[in-house]
Structure formats: structure tokens, C-alpha cells
Structure 1
């Protein structure tokens, strides 16, 4: 049962909760939000506050009002791409991707670890590392993001599917946990912007020169050891974070 905490404005707590459900795929495009009255009763807030929640979500492009139907998740609502969003989606729905979203592994194999990858994974530069490149598409077959996952090459012995482009049906995280006993429990995203490389522009169907948002994600196991280092590239998209101070 959701409950309002007084440390941050009540309306923003509800916005954060609903935004998380939308970006994780728990609420899919076209799903209806509860009416103002129901939202107010569920969270113990006023109807005016509930209406403010909907106003904020509309301004972010996450929901839209349909005459005679109410407020629904927008058909063009932004989809998740960061490591945090992936983790949130897995925790809430058991899926990495939102409804209608799908991905293709374009390449997978062992490669010498570049300096930044080696530093993130705690292995020697040039040591074998697993490199998996994934392109994520919308239901309309539009390329949304290109992500590269790096893992210690030693994991390929116990988890050989990581060096194959075949889909891992149970998901790479569950597969890793099953094969190695290690699971992702924490992570960190670092976000920056730069110009796309030619490979990124080709995979994302961007016209060069193109600015892209880059999210570097470090995912750690229960011992705090880096299990995966990922670099996700998308066309410039807005990122929203809420916090208390």
C-alpha cells in the first residue's frame, strides 16, 4: 500500500512512483491511470494534489488525457535505457524491456579489454573481456539505444551464452546468477553527452554529426565487485531525477 513520506512534497512522491511504473513497463502505453478521486484516496492526498500529479506527468510527456476515457500512459512515453531503469524493470516486472520494446544482440565475443573497461572490471588492460552489443527498438521498429556490455572474460567458461548472439531467454542477469551464483545488487550510472561515432550513428539511424547521450553503468554483486560495465548510447533524451536535500 503506497504511503506518503513528509520529507519531500507529497505530489512529487506520487509523480516519482507513477513515473517509475511507466518507465519500467509496469504501466504500458495506453494503460489508464486512476481517476483523481481514486488517486487521492489511495495516497491520502487532496484531489487538488492528485490533479497536480497528472499535470506534472503530462508536462513530462508521460501521460495524455483522452476525452471520455480519462488519463492514460502516452503512446510515445519515453522508454527506459539506463542501468537503473533496467534494474527497476526487472525488479518490478521480471522484464528488462517495456511492453512492445525488443532488442537484438548484434555482436558478442571475447576482446582485449580497453583501459577504461579494465579499470571498471578490475582486470588487466588487454585481458580477455566479454563484449556484447545490443540495439533496442520500439514497437514501431525505431532504434532507441545502442548498449555495449562488458564482463570479465573468465565468466565465459561458466556462462558461454554470453559470447553468443543468441537470445538468453531467462535474461542475462538471471543466467549469470544461475551459472555463477553472482547477482546484481547495486549499480551506478554516469551520464554525459558527446558526438556519435560512425558505428553508433549507423546502428541508431542518425545523420552525422549527431549528439548522443552516453550512460556508463557499473553493476556490482553482493560483495561490491563489478559484475558488468555497460555503455548505453541514445539520441539526446531528457533524464529526470528526484531527491530530497
Structure 2
């Protein structure tokens, strides 16, 4: 049962909850949202506050309203891929991409760990590390992002699917947890901008020189140890992050 926390404006708490359901794929494009009266009753807020929630979601382009057919999730949902969004998507759906997107693992295997990767994973530079490269596409087959996941190569014996380009149907986090007992419970994103490499430009269909946004993500287990170090590269797209202040 959803519950209002008084530290944050009630309407923003509801907006954040529904936005999370949409960006994670729990609510798919075309799904019907509860009418404002039902939303008010569910959350224990006024009908005017519920109407404000719908207005904010509509302004963000997440929902559409039509006379006589209620409020539905927009057919084309803007992408909001903060670290929180990705983690929420994995927990709810087992996927890091939104409804309508799909991904391909373009390469996977063991490679010598570069200095930055080795430092992040706590292994020696040049030691074997798992490298998985994923390209995420829109429903229109447009390349949206390229992400490279690095894990300690020692995990490959217990979790051999990580060095294969075959899809891990239960999701890599769940697979890793069931195979090794290590569960991801925390993460940190470091975001910067630089010029794309030749490989990134080819996979993302960019014309060099091209600027890209780079998100370096460190995923940690309950002991605070790094499970995975990831580098996500996105070119030519706007990112929108909403939060309460």
C-alpha cells in the first residue's frame, strides 16, 4: 500500500512513484492510469492534488489524456536513465532498458583489466576481467547507448554466461546473485563528457568527431565491495532527471 511521507510534497511523492513505474516498464505505453478520484483515494490525498499529479506527468510527456478515454502512459515515453532509474528497472523487470527498447550483447569474454577497471574492481592491472559490451536500441532500431560491463574474471567459472553473448534471461544481476551469492545493493554514477572513440562511433552510428556523455557506474554488494564497474556511453540525447528538493 503506498504511503505519503510528509518530508516531501505529497504530489511529488506520487509523481515520483508513477514516473518510476513508467520508466522501469512496470507501466507500459498505452496502460491506463487510475482516474484522479481513485488516485486520491489510493494515496490519501485530495482530488485537486491527484489532478496536479496528472498535470505534472503530462507536462513531462509521460502520460496522455483524451476526452472519454482517461489518462494513459504515452506511446513514446521520454528516456530518464539516471542510475536510480536503471536500478529500479532491474529490480522490477530484470532489464536495464525501458519498454519498447531492446539490447544486444555485441561481445563478451575475458580481457586484461585496464588500470581504471582494475582499481575499481580491486584486482591487479592486467589480471583477467570479464568484459561485456551491450548496445541498446529503440523500437525504431536506433542505437541509443553503448555500455561496457567489467567484472572480476574469477567470477567466470561460477557464472560462465557472463562471458557469452547469449541473453541472460533472468537478468545479469539475478544470475550473478544465484551463482555467486553476491547481491548488488548500492551504486554510484560518475558522469562526464568527452569525444567518442572509433568503436563507440561505429556502434552508435555517430559521425566523428562527436561528443558523448559517459556514465561510469560502480555497483557494490552488501559488504561494500565492487561487483561490477560499468561505462555507459550515450551520444546526441538529452537526459532529464527529476527530484524533490
> In the TM superposition, what are the counterparts of 1:71-150 in structure 2 within 5 Å?
71-79=71-79, 81-150=81-150
Query: CA 1:243–1:188 in structure 2 vs 1: closer, same or farther (change >3 Å)?
Result: farther
Find the counterpart in structure 2 of residue 170 from structure 1: 170
2:63 corresponds to 1:30: no
Aligned mates of 2:40, 2:208 — CA distance in 1: 48
- C-alpha contact 1:82 1:232 (8 A) present in aligned 2: no
Partner Cα separation in structure 2 for residue 55 and residue 208 of structure 1? 40
Separation (CA, whole Å) in 2 of partners of 1:224 and 1:122:
12
Q: In the alignment, what sits opposite 1:222?
A: 222
- Give the Cα separation in 2 of the matches to 1:167 and 1:92: 18
- Distance in 2, matches of 1:55 and 1:238, equals 21
Cα gap change, 1:35 to 1:199, in 2 (>3 Å): same
1:203 and 1:114 map into 2 onto residues whose CA distance is 21
Q: How many pairs were matched up?
A: 244
Identify the range of structure 1 (74-83 vs 157-166) with the bigger mean alpha-carbon deviation.
74-83
Query: TM-score, normalised to structure 2's length?
Result: 0.92
Q: Secondary structure at the match of 2:72?
A: strand
Q: Larger deviation: 209-218 or 77-86?
A: 77-86
Structure 2 distance, partners of 1:239, 1:11, is: 19
Q: Mean Cα displacement is larger for which, 232-241 or 219-228?
A: 232-241
Separation in 2, partners of 1:163, 1:129: 10
| 1:195 Cα offset (Å) | 2.8
What secondary structure, in the 3-state scheme, does the structure 1 residue paired with 2:243 have? coil
Task: State the 1:145 CA deviation.
Answer: 1.4
The residue that corresponds to 1:239 in the other structure is 240
Listed one character per residue, the Cα deviations across residues 55-88 of structure 1 (whole Å, up to 9, x for unaligned) are 2212222112233312211111134645432321
After TM superposition, the score normalised by the length of structure 1 is 0.92
Question: Could you list the runs of 5+ residues in structure 2 that have no partner in the other structure?
Answer: none
Look up the SS of the partner of 1:68 in the other structure.
coil
Residues 193, 48 of structure 1: CA spacing in aligned structure 2 closer, same or farther, 3 A cutoff?
farther
1:24–1:80 Cα contact (<8 Å) kept? no
Instruction: Give, in angstroms, the shift of residue 144 of structure 1.
Output: 1.7
Alignment partner, residue 52 of structure 1 = 52
